[in-house]
Structure 1
Amino acid sequence: MENSTSSGRGWGRPWLPLLVVIGFVVAGIVGGLAGASLVRERAVTPTAVATRAGAAATRGQPVVETTAQTVAGQVYQAVGKAVVDVIARESNGFFDEQGSGSGVVVDQRGLIVTAAHVVAGASTVQVQFATGERHTARVLGVDEANDLALLQVDRLPDGIPVASLGDSDTVQVGDVVIAIGSPFGLSGTVTQGIVSAVNRSWNPPGDRLHTGLIQTDAPINPGNSGGPLFNADGEVIGIATMIESPIRGNVGIGFAVPSNTVKRVLPQLEQGAQLQPAWLGISGTDLDAATAQRFGLDVDRGVIVLNVVPGSPAARAGLRPAQIRGNDIASLGDVIVALDGTPVQGMEDLAARIGTHQPGDTVELTVIRNGQRQTIRVTLGSWPQQG
């Protein structure tokens, strides 16, 4: 069900506020283009205004000033009807609860991408198209780690285009982006903005650390979740997943799962995969040069283990936390310096790489303990269900 808000937070000293129990979800690990073959029908996309203007300048023709609103209008006319409303109903026995979000058609066979939390717990899911037709949809697969779900309807109404999945690796800060969805149930709402940041990490309260996200100031509100973030060529470069807001409304900070992540998991979702985020079960902070020098370490990059969750995979593997007195580290426990033989740069790096794994996978952590390096094998678990 739709639940895409959180309270605002600030960022303080690097080692204390990053106390994230690593359920580790990675939203943007670059996974190749295995899912590109799913998009068999490409929509007719508009030519980006900036590209047209550049070509005109090359030919010596006058360049007409245009606005991002013009680009948004072109994108809406070309692929706006590929965006759908997703209505999820959950039966509680005596009455039904209804939640809503958005989605986007990515294949002529009736495949629709949305956010996993939009359809979580739903007993029935329906999709309403721009034509007004409403069809029952099947949930083919879910990727909770990246907050993605794949739906399918038996057929697409006439006149519904298919949106192309673009290359999110080419997205740059400052690029114009257009969000289309159903904020607060207002179908077909178009907003525009820019890419505010790429490869963004974000940790909503009570949730796991999310990495690799596209951040945008294009207004995104409850109901936009699962809807597409388009570039100026009308290609989907992200799927709206959450906002950062103390008021459950847009404050100019929204996040989207990159399209290349969607491409990577689409084949698995079409086959019915139920992908879960892998869980290590620690909280930690980045090792820095000053701390390394203080404790006589021969590296200045890694993760200081601050807490090990009882009963977690980390606890079963015997990882040891640091001893804390007040707000300071009195003595080190384990410092994670490598994962499967590759150096770990810090918490976000470790989170992203754990996020490429599935529960049940075994990884090798290289740790410094009492000044000596040793290798610890950990079988990852599933992120605990939120109570």
Structure 2
Amino acid sequence: MKKAPLYSRSRQRPGIPVASAQAAPARSPSIAAPSPEPVATQSQQAMPVAAPRRARWRAFAGRHRAWLAAFGAAGLVLLGAAGGRALIAPTAILTQKDIDAAVRQSLEKEPLPSAYARAYATVRPSVVRVVGLDEENEEPPKPGDDPKAHTRSTGTGVVIVDNGTILTNLHVVVGSKRIKVTFMDGHESDATMVGAQPENDLAVLRARSIPDDLQAATMRGTGDLIPGDEVIAVGFPFGIGPSTSAGVISGLKRSFRAPEGERLTNLIQFDAAANPGNSGGPLVTMDGSVVGIVTAILNPGDQGTFIGIGFAVPIENAASAAGMPPF
């Protein structure tokens, strides 16, 4: 009776049969086992594919070298711009609140001059002190002297032409044997009266010598003036000055009778302080323009000092007295 073959439970190595419990018969030495075919490695298998691919890229790069260089440069530029924007902090947007705070801070450190101060600074180079003397050799009173010495002889003038032409009040210089004017820089000169308009109490003077940098005042018409407009009066009250006082236009087309009996009409009424010595000085708006020549103050008493009502001749009349064209 035949026995069933027995098989080992051990794992078989691939390609090698496992013998049964008995030893495998020896192979004949005359028959050689076929040698296995060489197996290519992974790198050796990829070489035939990668080599042609690199060759194709080299050929492509050679044909399109200029284009590739341009694209590369453009890419670098874009990268640089993006990096620069990333490094630059975004500019903060200013709000109205920020602007207001900055303005307040600036004004606290350096306050702006008032409108009155700016108007005065504009007209000051054209304002002169005028003194009428009764004697040829008489010297004009000095500032700080007895105020009564200035009530008749001292007045004010304003340069309207830079050749030394000056407007003032007729009552300041009428009857004087000698007229002396003092300019802003201290230059003194004798002057002569070259024109007069008694109905408006105006006189036109011409200085014999003038400073090199003499400035004429800017004049403007009174057609757009209204009560309430701010003005300053500049002059030498009681010989002190130049002094400035501020007020408003109180009325227009007023009339006033001077102590000498002459009636003045078409006057500007104002409330900026004016006293003896202000006569002939300019009435000035906030833009520094002369709109009138201060000519009188109203005081029912005998003191002859300011109580709140002053009068000025409109510059249109004053200009006509100097032979200038109307505004």
1:223 CA displacement: 0.1
Q: Secondary structure at the match of 2:241?
A: coil
Cα pair distance change 1:94/1:263, threshold 3 Å: closer
Task: Write the distance in 1 (CA, Å) between the matches of 2:193 and 2:274.
Answer: 24
The answer as to whether partners of 1:79 and 1:161 remain within 8 angstroms in 2 is no
The answer to whether the aligner puts 1:202 opposite 2:256 as a matched pair is yes
**201, 204, 209: which one pairs with 1:147?**
201
The answer as to whether partners of 1:169 and 1:260 remain within 8 angstroms in 2 is no
Aligned partner of 1:84 in structure 2 is 128
Cα pair distance change 1:95/1:85, threshold 3 Å: closer
Cα pair distance change 1:234/1:211, threshold 3 Å: same
Gaps of 5+ in 2: 1-98, 141-148
Q: Secondary structure at the match of 2:199?
A: coil
Aligned partner of 1:236 in structure 2 is 290
The answer to whether the aligner puts 1:215 opposite 2:259 as a matched pair is no
Higher fraction of strand: 1
The answer as to whether partners of 2:136 and 2:178 remain within 8 angstroms in 1 is no
Aligned partner of 1:265 in structure 2 is 321
Cα pair distance change 1:94/1:128, threshold 3 Å: closer
Flag the structure with larger Rg: 2
Gaps of 5+ in 1: 1-60, 270-387
Give CA-to-partner distance per residue, 1:12-33, whole Å, 9 cap, x none. xxxxxxxxxxxxxxxxxxxxxx
Cα pair distance change 1:254/1:133, threshold 3 Å: same
Task: Write the distance in 2 (CA, Å) between the matches of 1:161 and 1:95.
Answer: 26
Cα pair distance change 1:70/1:112, threshold 3 Å: same
Give CA-to-partner distance per residue, 1:88-123, whole Å, 9 cap, x none. 111399999971100001111110000000001011
Higher fraction of helix: 2
TM-score (norm 1): 0.50
Q: Secondary structure at the match of 2:223?
A: helix
The answer to whether the aligner puts 1:74 opposite 2:118 as a matched pair is yes
Cα pair distance change 1:171/1:136, threshold 3 Å: same
Aligned partner of 2:153 in structure 1 is 99
1:205 CA displacement: 5.0
Q: Which moved more, 1:164-173 or 1:121-130?
A: 164-173
Give CA-to-partner distance per residue, 1:230-285, whole Å, 9 cap, x none. 0111110000001011221111100000001112222189xxxxxxxxxxxxxxxx
Aligned residues: 208
**174, 178, 186: which one pairs with 2:232?**
178
RMSD: 3.0
Aligned partner of 2:82 in structure 1 is none
1:187 CA displacement: 1.9
Aligned-pair identity in percent equals 35
The ranges of structure 1 where at least 4 consecutive aligned residues each deviate by more than 4 angstroms after the TM superposition are 61-65, 92-98
Aligned partner of 1:248 in structure 2 is 304
Give CA-to-partner distance per residue, 1:122-175, whole Å, 9 cap, x none. 111010111111101111011111111111113431343210111112211101
